[in-house]
Structure 1
Amino acid sequence: MTLRCLIIDDSPRFLTAARGLLEREGLSVVATALTGDDALRCAAELAPDVTLVDIHLGAQSGFDVVRRLTAEAQVAPSTVILISTHSEDDFADLIADSPVAGFLPKTGLSAEAIREVLGRAA
Protein backbone atom coordinates (compact mmCIF):
# COMPACT_ATOMS: atom_id res chain seq x y z
CA MET A 1 0.00 0.00 0.00
CA THR A 2 1.34 3.40 -0.97
CA LEU A 3 1.67 5.89 1.86
CA ARG A 4 -0.48 8.98 1.18
CA CYS A 5 1.07 12.27 2.31
CA LEU A 6 -0.02 15.89 2.77
CA ILE A 7 2.73 18.53 3.04
CA ILE A 8 2.09 21.89 4.73
CA ASP A 9 4.70 24.63 4.28
CA ASP A 10 4.60 28.33 3.47
CA SER A 11 7.33 28.00 0.80
CA PRO A 12 6.03 27.02 -2.65
CA ARG A 13 9.61 26.21 -3.65
CA PHE A 14 10.04 23.76 -0.77
CA LEU A 15 6.64 22.18 -1.46
CA THR A 16 7.63 21.51 -5.08
CA ALA A 17 11.02 20.06 -4.11
CA ALA A 18 9.62 17.91 -1.28
CA ARG A 19 6.78 16.61 -3.42
CA GLY A 20 9.18 15.62 -6.20
CA LEU A 21 11.57 13.89 -3.78
CA LEU A 22 8.91 11.95 -1.89
CA GLU A 23 7.08 10.87 -5.05
CA ARG A 24 10.34 9.64 -6.60
CA GLU A 25 10.83 7.59 -3.43
CA GLY A 26 7.41 5.95 -3.70
CA LEU A 27 5.12 8.09 -1.55
CA SER A 28 1.92 9.56 -2.96
CA VAL A 29 1.73 13.27 -2.16
CA VAL A 30 -2.03 13.80 -2.31
CA ALA A 31 -1.79 17.56 -1.75
CA THR A 32 0.31 20.46 -0.57
CA ALA A 33 -0.91 23.44 1.42
CA LEU A 34 0.52 26.88 2.14
CA THR A 35 -1.70 27.75 5.12
CA GLY A 36 -3.39 26.08 8.05
CA ASP A 37 -6.85 26.69 6.60
CA ASP A 38 -5.85 25.08 3.29
CA ALA A 39 -4.30 22.20 5.23
CA LEU A 40 -7.49 21.56 7.19
CA ARG A 41 -9.53 21.54 3.98
CA CYS A 42 -7.12 19.13 2.28
CA ALA A 43 -6.93 16.85 5.32
CA ALA A 44 -10.72 16.69 5.61
CA GLU A 45 -11.22 15.97 1.90
CA LEU A 46 -8.29 13.62 1.26
CA ALA A 47 -7.63 11.81 4.58
CA PRO A 48 -3.85 11.40 4.14
CA ASP A 49 -1.98 8.70 6.04
CA VAL A 50 0.73 11.12 7.14
CA THR A 51 0.83 14.91 7.31
CA LEU A 52 4.08 16.89 7.33
CA VAL A 53 3.75 20.30 8.99
CA ASP A 54 6.41 23.01 8.95
CA ILE A 55 6.94 24.52 12.40
CA HIS A 56 7.02 28.06 10.92
CA LEU A 57 4.17 28.82 8.53
CA GLY A 58 4.74 32.52 8.00
CA ALA A 59 2.40 34.26 10.42
CA GLN A 60 1.02 30.93 11.64
CA SER A 61 2.56 28.47 14.06
CA GLY A 62 2.85 24.88 12.86
CA PHE A 63 2.07 23.81 16.42
CA ASP A 64 -1.31 25.59 16.21
CA VAL A 65 -2.03 23.92 12.87
CA VAL A 66 -1.15 20.51 14.36
CA ARG A 67 -3.56 21.10 17.24
CA ARG A 68 -6.33 22.00 14.81
CA LEU A 69 -5.58 19.00 12.59
CA THR A 70 -5.76 16.61 15.53
CA ALA A 71 -8.72 18.21 17.30
CA GLU A 72 -11.28 19.03 14.62
CA ALA A 73 -13.89 16.32 14.16
CA GLN A 74 -14.28 16.69 10.39
CA VAL A 75 -10.58 15.95 9.82
CA ALA A 76 -9.79 12.26 9.45
CA PRO A 77 -7.02 11.02 11.74
CA SER A 78 -3.56 11.29 10.21
CA THR A 79 -0.14 10.75 11.70
CA VAL A 80 1.51 14.16 11.95
CA ILE A 81 5.25 14.81 11.67
CA LEU A 82 6.73 18.24 12.25
CA ILE A 83 9.44 19.48 9.87
CA SER A 84 11.78 22.47 10.03
CA THR A 85 15.05 23.98 8.89
CA HIS A 86 15.77 24.53 12.58
CA SER A 87 17.22 21.93 14.91
CA GLU A 88 14.89 19.64 16.85
CA ASP A 89 16.66 20.83 20.01
CA ASP A 90 15.30 24.35 19.40
CA PHE A 91 11.75 23.05 19.88
CA ALA A 92 12.22 19.86 21.93
CA ASP A 93 9.76 20.78 24.71
CA LEU A 94 7.08 22.00 22.29
CA ILE A 95 7.47 18.89 20.14
CA ALA A 96 7.25 16.62 23.17
CA ASP A 97 4.08 18.38 24.34
CA SER A 98 2.38 18.21 20.93
CA PRO A 99 0.32 15.33 19.51
CA VAL A 100 2.84 14.48 16.79
CA ALA A 101 4.61 11.24 15.95
CA GLY A 102 7.95 12.97 15.63
CA PHE A 103 10.17 15.54 13.97
CA LEU A 104 12.29 15.55 10.82
CA PRO A 105 14.76 18.21 9.72
CA LYS A 106 14.00 19.35 6.19
CA THR A 107 17.54 18.38 5.19
CA GLY A 108 16.81 14.79 6.29
CA LEU A 109 13.40 14.49 4.65
CA SER A 110 12.93 11.23 2.77
CA ALA A 111 10.37 8.48 2.42
CA GLU A 112 12.62 6.23 4.52
CA ALA A 113 12.87 8.83 7.31
CA ILE A 114 9.08 9.23 7.33
CA ARG A 115 8.63 5.46 7.56
CA GLU A 116 11.12 5.33 10.44
CA VAL A 117 9.14 7.94 12.40
CA LEU A 118 5.92 6.06 11.69
CA GLY A 119 7.53 2.81 12.85
CA ARG A 120 8.64 4.37 16.13
CA ALA A 121 5.18 5.85 16.67
CA ALA A 122 3.37 2.55 16.09
Structure 2
Amino acid sequence: MVTLRCLLVDDNRHFLAAARELLEREGLVVVGAATHITEAIGQAAALAPDVALVDIKLGAESGFQLARQLSVTPRPTPVIMISTHAGDDYADLVASSPAIGFLDKASLSARAVRELLSTV
Protein backbone atom coordinates (compact mmCIF):
# COMPACT_ATOMS: atom_id res chain seq x y z
CA MET A 1 0.00 0.00 0.00
CA VAL A 2 1.32 3.43 -0.96
CA THR A 3 2.03 5.76 1.95
CA LEU A 4 -0.15 8.86 1.78
CA ARG A 5 1.28 12.20 2.81
CA CYS A 6 -1.28 14.59 4.24
CA LEU A 7 -1.54 18.18 5.38
CA LEU A 8 -3.94 18.97 8.24
CA VAL A 9 -5.58 22.40 8.38
CA ASP A 10 -7.69 23.36 11.38
CA ASP A 11 -7.78 26.39 13.68
CA ASN A 12 -7.97 24.11 16.74
CA ARG A 13 -4.47 23.03 17.77
CA HIS A 14 -5.85 20.30 20.06
CA PHE A 15 -7.70 18.75 17.12
CA LEU A 16 -4.57 18.98 14.96
CA ALA A 17 -2.58 17.03 17.56
CA ALA A 18 -5.28 14.39 18.02
CA ALA A 19 -5.86 13.96 14.27
CA ARG A 20 -2.12 13.69 13.63
CA GLU A 21 -1.79 10.96 16.25
CA LEU A 22 -4.79 9.03 14.90
CA LEU A 23 -3.83 9.24 11.22
CA GLU A 24 -0.17 8.41 11.81
CA ARG A 25 -1.12 5.43 13.98
CA GLU A 26 -3.24 4.23 11.03
CA GLY A 27 -0.40 4.58 8.52
CA LEU A 28 -0.73 8.05 6.99
CA VAL A 29 2.21 10.45 7.14
CA VAL A 30 1.19 13.89 8.36
CA VAL A 31 3.76 16.15 6.68
CA GLY A 32 2.37 19.40 8.07
CA ALA A 33 -0.28 21.10 10.13
CA ALA A 34 -1.57 24.64 9.65
CA THR A 35 -4.05 26.83 11.49
CA HIS A 36 -4.83 29.39 8.77
CA ILE A 37 -4.93 29.80 4.99
CA THR A 38 -1.59 31.56 4.45
CA GLU A 39 0.26 28.96 6.50
CA ALA A 40 -1.53 26.11 4.69
CA ILE A 41 -0.72 27.44 1.22
CA GLY A 42 2.94 27.80 2.16
CA GLN A 43 3.11 24.30 3.59
CA ALA A 44 1.30 22.78 0.61
CA ALA A 45 3.79 24.40 -1.76
CA ALA A 46 6.82 23.37 0.30
CA LEU A 47 5.71 19.87 1.34
CA ALA A 48 3.67 18.68 -1.69
CA PRO A 49 1.17 16.55 0.28
CA ASP A 50 -0.97 13.95 -1.49
CA VAL A 51 -4.07 15.35 0.21
CA ALA A 52 -5.09 18.20 2.51
CA LEU A 53 -7.71 17.69 5.21
CA VAL A 54 -9.24 21.13 5.67
CA ASP A 55 -11.71 22.26 8.33
CA ILE A 56 -14.66 24.11 6.85
CA LYS A 57 -14.39 26.91 9.41
CA LEU A 58 -10.90 28.24 10.07
CA GLY A 59 -11.79 30.92 12.60
CA ALA A 60 -12.62 33.99 10.52
CA GLU A 61 -11.42 32.24 7.34
CA SER A 62 -13.20 29.71 5.14
CA GLY A 63 -11.88 26.26 4.37
CA PHE A 64 -13.71 26.48 1.04
CA GLN A 65 -11.58 29.51 0.13
CA LEU A 66 -8.47 27.46 0.87
CA ALA A 67 -9.79 24.54 -1.21
CA ARG A 68 -10.23 26.90 -4.17
CA GLN A 69 -6.72 28.31 -3.75
CA LEU A 70 -5.12 24.86 -3.47
CA SER A 71 -6.93 23.72 -6.62
CA VAL A 72 -5.29 26.37 -8.82
CA THR A 73 -1.68 26.11 -7.67
CA PRO A 74 1.03 24.78 -10.03
CA ARG A 75 0.74 21.44 -8.19
CA PRO A 76 -2.92 21.23 -7.12
CA THR A 77 -3.53 19.46 -3.82
CA PRO A 78 -6.67 17.32 -3.48
CA VAL A 79 -8.77 18.57 -0.55
CA ILE A 80 -11.10 16.71 1.76
CA MET A 81 -13.28 19.04 3.80
CA ILE A 82 -13.77 18.15 7.48
CA SER A 83 -16.09 19.46 10.18
CA THR A 84 -17.70 18.60 13.48
CA HIS A 85 -21.03 19.16 11.73
CA ALA A 86 -22.79 16.49 9.69
CA GLY A 87 -22.12 16.29 5.97
CA ASP A 88 -25.73 17.11 5.16
CA ASP A 89 -25.19 20.57 6.63
CA TYR A 90 -22.61 21.37 3.94
CA ALA A 91 -23.49 18.97 1.11
CA ASP A 92 -24.28 21.69 -1.44
CA LEU A 93 -21.20 23.74 -0.57
CA VAL A 94 -18.90 20.71 -0.76
CA ALA A 95 -20.45 19.63 -4.07
CA SER A 96 -19.91 23.07 -5.60
CA SER A 97 -16.33 23.35 -4.34
CA PRO A 98 -13.15 21.81 -5.76
CA ALA A 99 -12.98 19.49 -2.71
CA ILE A 100 -13.10 15.78 -3.51
CA GLY A 101 -15.35 15.04 -0.55
CA PHE A 102 -16.28 15.52 3.08
CA LEU A 103 -15.62 13.69 6.35
CA ASP A 104 -17.12 14.56 9.69
CA LYS A 105 -14.38 14.65 12.31
CA ALA A 106 -15.91 11.74 14.24
CA SER A 107 -15.46 9.54 11.13
CA LEU A 108 -11.92 10.67 10.34
CA SER A 109 -9.62 7.71 9.67
CA ALA A 110 -6.87 6.71 7.27
CA ARG A 111 -9.28 4.27 5.65
CA ALA A 112 -11.92 6.97 5.07
CA VAL A 113 -9.28 9.28 3.54
CA ARG A 114 -8.05 6.50 1.23
CA GLU A 115 -11.61 5.67 0.17
CA LEU A 116 -12.34 9.27 -0.79
CA LEU A 117 -9.06 9.56 -2.68
CA SER A 118 -9.85 6.39 -4.62
CA THR A 119 -12.90 8.11 -6.12
CA VAL A 120 -10.83 10.69 -8.03
> Which residue of 1 is the match for residue 100 of structure 2?
101
Percentage of pairs with the same residue:
57
CA shift at 1:72, angstroms?
A: 3.1
Query: Shift in Å at residue 68 of structure 1?
Result: 1.0
Residue of structure 2 in register with 1:87 after alignment: 86
What whole-Å deviation, never above 9, does each CA across 1:62-121 have from its counterpart, x for those lacking one? 101111111233xx2221100000111111111100011100000000000001111122
Mapped to 2, the partners of 1:77 and 1:60 lie a distance apart of 20
The correspondence of residues 10-21 of structure 1 with structure 2, limited to 5 A, is 10-21=11-22
1:58 maps to 59
Q: Which amino acid is the alignment partner of residue 84 of structure 1?
A: S
* Letter matched to residue 78 of structure 2: T
Aligned length: 119
1:14-63 Cα distance to aligned partner (Å, 9 max, x none) = 00000000000000000000000000000000100010000000000110
Give 3-state SS (helix, strand or coil) of 1:98's partner.
coil
Q: Name the SS of the counterpart of 1:31 in structure 2.
A: strand
> Take 1:77 and 1:66, find their aligned partners in 2: how far apart are those partners?
10
Question: Partner letter of residue 31 of structure 1?
Answer: G
When structure 1 is superposed on structure 2, of 64-73 and 91-100 the one drifting more is 64-73
Distance 1:72 1:2 in 2: 23
Q: TM-score, length-normalised on structure 1?
A: 0.94
Match of 2:73 in 1: 72
Task: Name stretches of at least 5 consecutive residues in structure 1 with no aligned partner.
Answer: none
What is the TM-score normalised by the length of structure 2? 0.96
- One-letter amino acid of the counterpart of residue 96, structure 1: A
User: Which consecutive unaligned segments of at least 5 residues does structure 2 have?
Assistant: none
